[in-house]
Amino acid sequence: MNILMTTIFDIPHEGGLSTHVLTLKNGLEELGHNVDILSFSSMNPILKKIYAQAPGYLLNKIQKGKGQVINDGQRKKMLKSILKKTKKRYDVIHCHDVYAALAAVETNMPTVATVHGYFSYEAISRGAILKDSKEDQYIQLIEKEAYEKADHLIAVDTRIQQYIFDKTNKKATVIKNFINTNEFKPQLYHKQEVRKRLGLPENRKILFVPRRLTEKNGVIYPTLALPNVLEIFPETFLVYAGTGEQMENISTKVQQLQLEHHVQLLGSVPHDQMMQLYSAADVVLIPSVHSYGVEEATSISALEAMGSGSPVIASAVGGLKEIINDQKDGLLVEEKNPEELSAAIIKLLKDPQLSQNLAKHAREKIEREYSHIEAAKKVSEIYNQVQLKKIC
């Protein structure tokens, strides 16, 4: 089957959507399908600046949020123009955002849309639009239209499935996020060798936060929890891999708490280096929070850590509660609670056997339930169903 994956966002980029698309492509190709990706990265760089970046940048200076809507709409138009020229080469178009879905359905090609989150709520959470503004209302209408018009919807967790149903009375198929289990696996890299190669301390306890530095990811809380950990384990070292609007906030808090010798912000990290960082860590932290109606889905970062054989501590929110069985294959803590987070970290650092058991059970779960091949098989079945419906 010839498949086109498409989105108005860049591929690759930092974040779960990009990882999801690239991992699914890999799984589908292992099953024998041909997969191409059409994203904002694929488009002419000059046209991108003229039509889909500059207008919104200028409009946002006049009214916050207006530029976001204009830019996304322009990206959709550019995507639609390319889709019309290329649609004959594909059996199905698989979209990964609401604007791409609307562009695809206008081609009358079989269209599958994966819903990764709450499009309007996430725009509010990252500060792109204002809550209850005209732009917020407009984007919610765009979401509803896209969900109604797509031939088949996939949700990455049950809460998003319910969100879609509440908006449209249409039931999406739940296929939770997944990872390439051949890439992320225990002891792929030797811990001390990786630390030396990456310039990390070789003989300190390392806490790793593999997250975009955005509000909904709760990235400030590991920094707030660190002083309590340092009272018991004074050589602990906290590493962040990611960029985002919270970077300045974290840096400020690190200075206020005098943690400069205990925290390192690596910024954006290549995919292959991320795999090494999981191996280098003693504990991986996924401290997500509720933010303007947004909850963490089945976090790819959590899945990657679990697949890599690293013990995980996560907030008990959203899809994290669906993938982590507390005390069995990870630890769940209350969101926005530095004291509870620090207590869980200390518990794992004090008890290496517990850490090892959690990591072992987590890897077994990943192999059983979150393999990219198993996910690709489920998605392939949906493609077949959508094609048959179009023929009939």
Domains 2-178+371-391 and 191-369 share a fold: yes
Q: What's the confidence (pLDDT) of residue 392?
A: 61
C-beta neighbour count of 57 within 10 angstroms: 12
The CATH architecture assigned to 191-369 reads 3-Layer(aba) Sandwich (3.40)
Predicted confidence (pLDDT) per residue in 234-255, tens digit: 999 999 999 999 999 999 999 9
Residue whose pair of structure tokens reads 């400069």 in the numeric block = 260
Tell the CATH topology of 2-178+371-391: Rossmann fold (3.40.50)
Q: What's the confidence (pLDDT) of residue 36?
A: 97
- Give the separation between CA 266 and CA 263, rounded to whole angstroms: 10
- Indicate the domain borders of the chain: 2-178+371-391, 191-369
- Give the separation between CA 164 and CA 109, rounded to whole angstroms: 22
Q: What's the confidence (pLDDT) of residue 120?
A: 84
- Low-confidence stretches of the chain (pLDDT < 70) are 60-61, 188, 293, 391-392
Q: At what angle do helices 66-86 and 98-105 cross, to 10 degrees?
A: 40
Q: What's the confidence (pLDDT) of residue 168?
A: 96
Query: Please, where are the H alpha helices in the chain?
Result: 16-30, 45-52, 54-62, 66-86, 98-105, 119-125, 134-149, 158-168, 191-198, 220-232, 247-256, 271-280, 300-307, 320-323, 338-350, 352-369, 372-391
Would you say 332 and 343 are in contact if contact means Cβ atoms under 8 Å apart?
no
pTM of the model: 0.83
